[in-house]
Chains A and B, each alone.
Chain A
Amino acid sequence: MALPKAKEDATATRLAGLSLPADAGWSRAAREDALARLQAQGVPQRRDEYWRFTNPSAFTAPEVAEAPSRDLPDEIPLGAEADRLTVVFTDGVFDPDASDALEGEGMEIARLAGAPDIHWARDLYGTLEARGQDPVDRPLAALNTAFATDGVLIRVSGKVTRPVSIVYRHRDARSDVLLHHVIRIDADAALTLVEAGPAGARSNIVIEADIAQGGAFHHVRDQGREHDRSATTAGFARLGEAAVYKSFTLSANGALTRNEHVIECLGNGGIAHVAGAAIGDAAAHPFHHDDTVFITHDALDCESRQVFKKVLKNGAVGVFQGKILVREGAQKTDGYQISQSLLLDEDSQFLAKPELEIYADDVACSHGSTTGAIDEEALFYLRSRGVPEGPATDLLVLAFLAEALDEIDDPDIAGVLRDQLSGWLSRHATR
C-alpha cells in the first residue's frame, strides 16, 4: 500500500542525510532489508495509533535539536560499583582510550564497526528487530538497523568473570547517535549488562538479545540526568526454553524518552521481566517519558512481568503502553502487568494503554493501572510522627518506586540507583 503523501515526504526528508555505512560488510544485506522495511512503513507520525501519546517528530526531524551536555561529578555512575569490562562511546563514537580491551573470559566481544565476518552475529543482526515489526510497525528500530554506525557484539558461552558495562558520554550539543548492540547467550550461560549515561543530544539505540535454553540475560540501564536530550531505545529479546530475561531502566529527567521492549517467549518455562522507574520535573525543562512494551507468549508455562512506575511533577508527562499477547496453545501462561503513576501536582499527566490479547484459556493474566496524588493519609501519618512534609513526601515517593526497583536482582546496583533517586528528590524538593 502506498504511503500517505505527508508520511512519504517525512520519510524522504529523514533519509536524505543518511547512507548505509561503506564498510558494512557482512551486515549489508540485513541493513538493506531494514531500509526496505523503513521505506514501506514510513517514519512514525503523531497520527499513528502507536504514537498516540507521544509526538515522534523530534526523532524524525532531519536536524537534531540543541541539547547541551552537563557534567555531573556529584554522582557515582552506574557500573562503577563493581569491576566491569567497560566499553565507552562518546557521542556514539567508540572511545578506545577510555575503554577496556575487548576480551573477556567466557565470551566473545567485538564492535559492530569494522567487525570481521562474525557468523553468529550475522544470523542475528536485524533478525529480531524484523520479527518485532509484526503486528506493529517500529520504523525507528528499522532505521537503526539500516544506519547504525557502531555497537557491541557479545556472545556468551561460558562463565563470565567480568560483567560488561557500556558507558555513554555526551559532549556535542548536536550529536545524533545510532548504536546497535547484539547479544547472544548460549545454553546455560549468563550475562549482566549495564548501560549508563546519556548517549547524545539525540539517540536511537537498539539491543537484540537472543537467549538460548537455560540462558540468562540481566540488563540494567540508567539513562542519565540530562534535560534536553531525546532518546529512543528498543530492546528485542527472544527466549528459548527456561531462558531468563530481566531488564530494568531508570530515567530521571529528559525532554523526550521512548523505551520500547519487544519480547518473545518461544521456549517452555521462559521468564521475562521488564521494569522501569521514571521521575521528572517539568518546571524548567520539558519531561515526557514513554514506556512501550510488547510481550508475546508462544510456549507453555512462561512467566512475564511488567512493572512501571512514574513520578511526575510540574506538568511532566508519563506514558505507558503495555501489551501481553498470549498465542493459541500458550497454556499455563502467567502474565502480570502494573503501571502506576504518582502526580505530584495539578499539571502533570499520565496516559496509559495497558492491553491484553489472549488466545489460550488456561492462563492467568492480569493488569492494573492506577493514577493519583500522594496518599494524604500516609502523609498525615508520617507528619504526626514528626517527619516534616518534604522528607515525608520523598519517603512516600521512594516507597512508591520501590516495587519497580525490587525487580533488580543485584543489590549493589539497586543501591546505586536508589541513591540517585534520593539525590534527585533532594534537588527537586517537593512543596
Chain B
Amino acid sequence: MTDQTTLRDKAKESVDRETVDAVAQLSGAYKHGWNTEIEMDFAPKGLTEDIVRLISERNEEPEWMLEWRLEAFRRWQTLKEPDWSMLKYAPVDYQEQYYYAKPASMKEKPKSLDDVDPKLLETYAKLGIPLKEQMVLAGVEGAEAAPSEAKDSERKVAVDAVFDSVSVGTTFKKELEKAGVIFCSISEAIREHPELVRKYLGSVVPASDNYFATLNSAVFSDGSFVYIPEGVRCPMELSTYFRINAENTGQFERTLIICDKQAYVSYLEGCTAPMRDTNQLHAAVVEIVALEDAEVKYSTVQNWYPGDENGKGGIYNFVTKRADCRGDRSKVSWTQVETGSALTWKYPSCILRGDDSQGEFYSIAITNNWQQADTGTKMIHLGKRTRSRIVSKGISAGHAQNTYRGLVSMHPKAKDSRNYTQCDSLLIGSTCGAHTVPYIEVKNNSSRVEHEATTSKVDEDQLFYCRQRGMDEEEAVALVVNGFCKEVLQALPMEFAMEAQQLVAISLEGSVG
C-alpha cells in the first residue's frame, strides 16, 4: 500500500467517523441543556433603584458608574418596549427576574482547585474547556501565573467566562499583558482602567439608545473589556463564554472592545443555557470602537436554549451590537451563527464614519420548532469611499419565523461608497415563515447600492442526489443547508466553523418527515 492510499484511507476513516458522529448528534436534542446545581448568591427578585445600587456596590464601582447606571434606569422607566419587530411573545414581566446571581463559592477566592465548588468545574468540563483554563475560570488564586499547558506552537484562545451575572475568570492574562493587550471582565476594567472605560463606554451605544440597551446600561453585571494598543496584532483569539445557569435570571452583559490605530483583534463569543420551562431574559450590549487602520473581527455562535419542540421555555435574546469605525481605513466584520434562543432580536451594526472604512455582516440564522428570529444589520455610511457587504442566510423549519431586517444608509457626504446586500431564505416545511424587511436610503449618486433577496425551499434535485448516494433525508437536508450557508461559514474562524457546521445539523433535527 502506498503512502498516498494510507493517507486517503485515514482521511476517509475520519470523514466516516464525522458522519457517524453527526448522525449521533442529530438524534440528540439541545446539547447544553443540563443545569448545574450550584449554590448561588442572588439579589432580590425585581428591578428597583436599590437593585441597581446593589449591582454597582457588589462590583465595587466608583460613584460615576453608579450615576451612569441610575440615569439609565430612570430613563428606562419612561420607555416603552418596542413592538415593531415580527416577534410575537407574551409580555415580559421585568419584576419577575433576578438581576444579579453569582456562584456563592466566588465570595472568597479559592486557593486551589480542591477548594473550588466541584460543580462549577464540572460545568466547564462539560462545555469542553481544558483543565488549566478551568482553574482560572474557577478563580483559583495564582492560576494565571502557572505555566500554560498549551504549547507555544498550538493555537491559543484566551477565554473570559461569564456565569450568570459575573465573570468567573479570564485565561492567558499574563501573556496578553506582555503584548500590551488588556482583556478582562468589564467590572475589573471599571476599577483598573477607569480612564478608558469612561472615555468609550456608551460612546457607540449610548445609555439612551433603545429600550433593551437602556435596561442593560442600568443593570449590566459583567461582561468583557478589550483594549488593543496602537500597532498591536493581538497574539491570540479572544473569546467570551456566556452561560445562563440559574432559573429566572436575566443575563445582562456588556462588552466593550477598543482597537487602537493599526491594531487587530479577532473576538469570539459563545453562549449556552440550561433547559427551563420558563423564558429567560438576555439583554446584552456590545460596543466596538475601531480607530485608524484598525481591524476587528467579531464572531458569535449563539446557542442559547431555544425552548422545547412545543415552544415552551427558551431564552429571550434582545441584543444591541454596534461598531463605530471611527478611524479612516478601519474595518469591522460581524459574523454570527444564530441557532439558539426562543426569540432573537439582534442587529449588529457598523457606523462607517472614517473615510475608506469597511463594514461586513455575515449571518446564518436558523429557526426550528417555535423559534422566532428578527435579525439583521445596519450599515450607516458617513465617510467617503466606505464599503459594506451583507450576506444573510435565514433558514426556517417547523413552525418557526425568521426575519431579516436591515438598513443601508448612504449619507449625502458618503461619496463613492458601495454596498452589496444578499439575503437568502430557505424554507423547510409548509408551516414556517421567512421574511425580509430591508430599508435602503441613498442620498448621493456616486454611491452604488445593490440589494438582492430570494426565498425558496430546499432544492429537490440536490436532495434527490444526496439520498441516491445513501444519505437519509435529515442528513441530506443538513448537507444542503450547510452548502447554502457556505459563504458565511467560511467567514468564521476555523474552530467556530466546525462547531457551527454541526450546529446547523443539530438545529434542524426533526424538521423533516
Contacts and interface: CB of A to CB of B under 8 A. Distances in A.
B429 A371 contact: no
Given A354-B451, A363-B427, A368-B451, 4 more contacts: A358-B433, A363-B457, A366-B452, A367-B436
B440 A359 contact: no
A360 B429 CA distance: 8
A366 B423 CA distance: 10
11 contacts: A345-B445, A346-B446, A351-B442, A352-B439, A352-B441, A353-B437, A355-B435, A357-B436, A358-B427, A368-B451, A369-B451
Chain A interface extent, by class: 35 or more
The 7 A-B pairs of least Cβ separation, nearest first, read A343-B445, A361-B427, A352-B440, A356-B436, A372-B448, A361-B457, A371-B442
Interface string B450-473: 111111110000000000000000
B443 interface: yes
Contact of A348 (B445, B449, B457): B445
Contact of A372 (B86, B433, B447, B456): B447
A354 B453 contact: yes
Contacts of B435: 355-358
Contacts of A344: 445
A353 B437 CA distance: 7
A353 B439 contact: yes
A306 to B, nearest CB: 13
A190 to B, nearest CB: 32
B47 to A, nearest CB: 26
A357 B453 CA distance: 12
A361 B433 CA distance: 8
B202 interface: no
Contacts of B437: 353, 355
A364 interface: yes
A363 B455 CA distance: 7
Interface of B: 84, 86, 412, 415, 425, 427-457
A359 B436 CA distance: 12
Nearest to A327: B433
A234 to B, nearest CB: 22
Given A357-B433, A362-B457, A346 B412 contact: yes
A328 interface: yes
B454 A366 contact: yes
A62 B301 CA distance: 55
B438 A355 contact: yes
A147 B431 CA distance: 42
B454 A371 contact: no
Nearest to A337: B453
Given A351-B442, A369-B440, A356 B434 contact: yes
Contacts of B84: 49
Given A346-B444, A350-B440, A371-B440, A329 B453 contact: no
A331 interface: yes
A173 B449 CA distance: 40
A349 interface: yes
A356 B438 CA distance: 9
Given A360-B430, A363-B457, A365-B454, A351 B425 contact: no
Contacts of B449: 369-372
A353 B455 contact: no
Nearest to B86: A357
Given A331-B430, A362-B430, A368-B451, A354 B438 contact: yes
Nearest to A352: B440
